[in-house]
Amino acid sequence: MRAASLIVAGLLSARAALAASGVADATVTITPLGSPDGEFCVLDRALVFEDPDGTRILYDPGRTVRGPDDSRLGKVDAVLLSHVHFDHLGDRIQPAANAGTCDRPEFPVSVTPNSNLVNIAVGKEAKLIVGGEMSTLFSRKVAVAGGDPAQLRLLRFGAMTKVGGVAVASVPAVHSNGLAPAFLEKEHAEVLSANGLTAYVGPPGGYVLRFSNGLTAYLSGDTGITAEQDLVVRQHYGANLAVLNIGGTFTTGPLEAAYVINELVKPASVIPSHANERATQLGQLRPGTRTQTFVEAVKVPAHLPLSGRAMKFDGKGTCVSGCERGRDRAGGPDRPPAPRARSDRSRRPGLPAPDGSVRAGPGAPGQPRPAC
């Protein structure tokens, strides 16, 4: 009896210490960096994640981040790249904020044969995390841009790394990963262009991020439906927030993406991405869009990634401030999150818990072109 009392007292003391540290109640801030401000537009991909400990991670900067001097970036500790297509790697950028319109943003400034990704990583002296066969390519590009090749961190499927208080794991994506000739030096670019080819740099990927408050976010990259979204993303890592592509043609469309959310990943909430359309007007969801179709098909809250609008998430995957609920903004019926039939996360192997422990597991130039 005395032993049981001591255990209970110990648990209560640990909980009080965690609350006093602020970790239990802390939030992760997610800020979309698209164009123009306050909208969800055709080539918006980039997101900045800020952990409660101040660690900042940039995901797929693409074209809409205006290089390393973009005032929205602030400190960047690491940059994640899912794959090398132009809308994620960045072949062009804007000279100033809000150039063009939501459906036709303007990107007249070329940054090839380097890339926006590399320029940002070098300018911010940030770690650059990539998978596949991309590390040797970007080691050289970082060096050419004046950076240190040691900034590169290779992370292939099943592997995990830490950036500050954030654990980063690599997960599969079903897509392609050909590097366009524009990112290569002249002689190689000419040969590939003449033959209609790209340079293959290994498989594409996605990521799962586990933050110090317990939030576990799945970043899909570009992907179709894959069994790993259930077996790995949900069952192994227990993602409670998803950032998922919904655009169709090159990736899952809105209904396929809704199936991924409802039946495979089953997060507490979702942020749609890669819609390849003018999804909003004056910050409100436009009727008849793919984004509206997706929002109405999912059973959990869908939060619109409006450029520059910071969203804050607790450790359970619930948005606690700054979020625009897609169904609310479209004027449709709002629905509460569906119950999540899943086991206790504390018993699931995978990414480190907030206390750092890991449970072992079982054995036209300047204009948008079609995105990929």
The pLDDT of residue 264 is above 80: yes
Q: Give the separation between CA 176 and CA 95, rounded to whole angstroms.
A: 30
At residue 248, the pLDDT reads 84
Average pLDDT, the chain: 86
The pLDDT of residue 100 is above 60: yes
Write out pLDDT tens, residues 196-212: 999 999 999 999 999 99
The pLDDT of residue 15 is above 60: no
At residue 369, the pLDDT reads 53
Q: Say what percent of the chain tops pLDDT 90.
A: 74
The pLDDT of residue 337 is above 80: no
C-alpha 322: how far from chain center: 18
Residue type, 202: G
Tell me which residue of 170, 16, 10 sits closest to 82, measured CA to CA. 170
pTM of the model: 0.85
Instruction: Evaluate whether 273 touches 220 at the Cβ level (below 8 Å).
Output: yes
Instruction: Evaluate whether 73 touches 120 at the Cβ level (below 8 Å).
Output: yes
Write out pLDDT tens, residues 120-158: 999 999 999 999 899 999 999 999 999 999 999 999 999
Write out pLDDT tens, residues 65-77: 999 999 999 999 9
Higher per-residue pLDDT: 358 or 73: 73
28-42, 67-81, 171-185: range with lowest mean pLDDT: 171-185
At residue 352, the pLDDT reads 57
At residue 324, the pLDDT reads 78
Q: Give the separation between CA 325 and CA 329, rounded to whole angstroms.
A: 6
Q: Give the separation between CA 68 and CA 55, rounded to whole angstroms.
A: 17
**Could you tell me whether strands 127-130 and 78-80 are parallel, antiparallel, or unpaired per DSSP bridges?**
parallel
Q: Which of 116-130, 176-190, 245-259 has the highest mean pLDDT?
A: 116-130
**Dihedral sign from CA coordinates of 179, 122, 124, 105:** negative
Tell me which residue of 173, 113, 170, 171 sits closest to 145, measured CA to CA. 113
Q: How confident is the model at residue 351 (pLDDT cuts 50, 70, 90)?
A: low
Q: Give the separation between CA 355 and CA 204, rounded to whole angstroms.
A: 31
Instruction: Evaluate whether 325 touches 334 at the Cβ level (below 8 Å).
Output: yes
Q: Give the angle 146-147-151 at the CA atoms, nearest 5°.
A: 165
Backbone phi, psi, residue 26, to 5°: -75, 160
- What is the pLDDT averaged over residues 29-47? 97
The pLDDT of residue 56 is above 70: yes
Q: Give the separation between CA 162 and CA 44, rounded to whole angstroms.
A: 26
- What is the pLDDT averaged over residues 159-170? 96
Write out pLDDT tens, residues 218-233: 999 999 999 999 999 9
- What is the pLDDT averaged over residues 188-192? 90
Q: What burial class does residue 179 get, using C-beta atoms within 10 Å of its C-beta: 0-12 exposed, 13-18 middle, 19+ buried?
A: buried
Report the largest interatomic distance among the alpha carbons of the chain, rounded to a whole angstrom: 80
Q: How confident is the model at residue 62 (pLDDT cuts 50, 70, 90)?
A: very high
At residue 250, the pLDDT reads 83
At residue 23, the pLDDT reads 53
Please name the residue ranges forming H helices in the chain: 2-21, 86-89, 116-124, 134-144, 186-194, 228, 254-259, 290-297, 326-330
